Amino acid sequence: MTTCILTTGTPKRIGFISTRFHGTDGVTLETRKWAHILEGLDHSCFWMAGLLDAPAAASHPVPLAHFNHPEVAAVQSRLFDVTTRSRELTNQIQSIKERLKDELYRFIDRFQLQVLVPENILAIPMHVPLGLAMTEVIAETGLPTIAHHHDFAWERERFVVTAVNDYLRAAFPGALPRVEHVVINSMAQKELARRCSLPSAIIPNVLDFETPPPVLDDYNRDFRREIGLREDDWLILQPTRVVLRKGIEHAIELVRRLKDPRAKMVISHPDGDEGNAYLTMLKDRIAEAGIDVRFIADRVGEKRGTTADGRKIYTLFDVYLHADLVTYPSYYEGFGNAFLEALYFGKPVVVNTYAVYARDIDPLGFKTVAMTQLVTREVVEQVRELLHNPALRAEWASTNYALGLQYFSYAVARRKLAARLANLFGEGV
């Protein structure tokens, strides 16, 4: 019997570039997974971003690359919801672009990079000068590139009316040789082909299903008590940022209709970068519903630690271990990290059948409580049955974990990344 060993040819020096690699946003999480997989195949990974928490020896921090940099934010605020821009604004964009190009060249030279991986910066125009700079550097150097696209401009209403259509066509995502385009779902693949005549490969979001999830330990065992819950409470976890597209009002309605004092909703992430109107509306809904909702973003971090006043900080994985149910009522997702995390931890999920879920995930046979924009009586009754029936939860958990291992494990990304590198370098896989 022989063993097939996956290789990707000669080890490469790979540079990841984005606005930020920090926190628990989807782009950061998936990029770290790619880096972990690639390093396991003997490649070396390096990092450039405006906000960065990678090892210093492998990092090239560039504050101007962050979309919240004051100079960048001032420019970005004048590019959308209008159809023309001033010459002065064009000059500002070009000035920032040139400075970022200098930093990209320094990054490439400093780490002697052989492959570039722009993470979402050639897809969504959160930082137009950075996308332009990245495109020009690829064009000028000819460096092999894997462009990883999570969200495209055409998927967000706020980018529809714009004064930079010329730049969007040139760089978001652009059309250059020796660039392997990677998307995270089949809808994005089809739209990229239709709109830009560009082929792409699908590498879905993944989790390390080959490694069993962590378990309760001496550190995380007290989590419920720390946030004021009893052991017999139902911890209903909303593991997302507080932004409009997450549909958190549906989770609030579900908890209201359960009409059980044991049902306690826990929101693990902070609000996002889209203002605070949505959070204000949710708090009004919570007050009207008269339910118990805990916002615990200040107690959840990437690593365990303590807050400034000495309280324990838990990881998101610590929180999942205590959940009885996960709510994921998003209106739109590029893929669905929280969905995979719930499967990984064996937790039942209430999921709104957003388009990508309906097209790419639901047909695979996962057991979920599915809702279509409405918290119906059937949804409430199915949730109530799950909360009262541990055997049913265990059956669902077993089925879902096996499907996650089959379709969304690191092995899937490993195989597809190896193929992208083989396409770029002509080396056998």
pLDDT, tens only, 370-406: 999 999 999 999 999 999 999 999 999 999 999 999 9
State the pLDDT confidence band at 25, using cuts at 50, 70 and 90: confident
Contact indicator for 181, 200 with CB cutoff of 8 Å: yes
Same domain, 199 and 319: no
Phi, psi dihedrals of residue 14, rounded to the nearest 5°: -115, 130
Say which CATH number the domain at 37 has.
3.40.50
Local structure of residue 131 (DSSP, 8 states): H
Same domain, 192 and 228: no
Say which CATH number the domain at 333 has.
3.40.50.2000
pLDDT, tens only, 76-113: 999 999 999 999 999 999 999 999 999 999 999 999 99
Contact indicator for 133, 33 with CB cutoff of 8 Å: no
Q: Would you say residue 428 has pLDDT above 90?
A: no
Enumerate residues 6+ apart whose C-beta is below 8 A from 172.
Answer: 122, 123, 124, 125, 131, 152, 153
Q: What mean pLDDT do residues 189-193 have?
A: 97
pLDDT, tens only, 381-390: 999 999 999 9
Among 246, 249, 268, 261, smallest CA distance to 347 is for 268
Is 32 a member of any domain? yes
pLDDT on residue 203? 97
* DSSP labels, 148-189: E-S--GGG-GGGSSBS-HHHHHHHSS---TTEEEEESSHHHH
Is 214 a member of any domain? no
Q: What mean pLDDT do residues 47-71 have?
A: 96
Same domain, 38 and 142: yes
In whole angstroms, give the CA distance from residue 385 to residue 1: 48
Is 270 a member of any domain? yes
Same domain, 170 and 277: no
Is 44 a member of any domain? yes
Local structure of residue 428 (DSSP, 8 states): -
Tokens for 388? 């009262």
pLDDT on residue 106? 98
Same domain, 198 and 101: yes
Is the Cα dihedral 157, 329, 235, 292 positive or negative? positive
Is 6 a member of any domain? no
Q: Would you say residue 53 has pLDDT above 70?
A: yes
Same domain, 123 and 191: yes
The total of structural domains in the chain comes to: 2
Q: Would you say residue 254 has pLDDT above 50?
A: yes
Same domain, 391 and 248: yes
CA 49 to chain centre: 16
Same domain, 318 and 169: no
Same domain, 248 and 336: yes
In whole angstroms, give the CA distance from residue 115 to residue 187: 27
State the pLDDT confidence band at 3, using cuts at 50, 70 and 90: very low
Is 7 a member of any domain? no
pLDDT on residue 270? 87
Same domain, 258 and 312: yes
Query: Within 10 Å of residue 296's Cβ, how many Cβ atoms?
Result: 18
* DSSP labels, 226-240: HTT--TTSEEEEE-S
Mean pLDDT across the chain: 94
Same domain, 291 and 195: no
In whole angstroms, give the CA distance from residue 179 to residue 192: 14
Is 425 a member of any domain? no
Q: Are strands 349-352 and 51-52 parallel, antiparallel or unpaired?
A: unpaired
Q: Provide the residue range defining the domain that includes 310.
A: 223-407
Boundary (domain end) residue, out of 147, 171, 203: 203
Same domain, 367 and 250: yes
Is 8 a member of any domain? no
Q: Would you say residue 24 has pLDDT above 90?
A: no
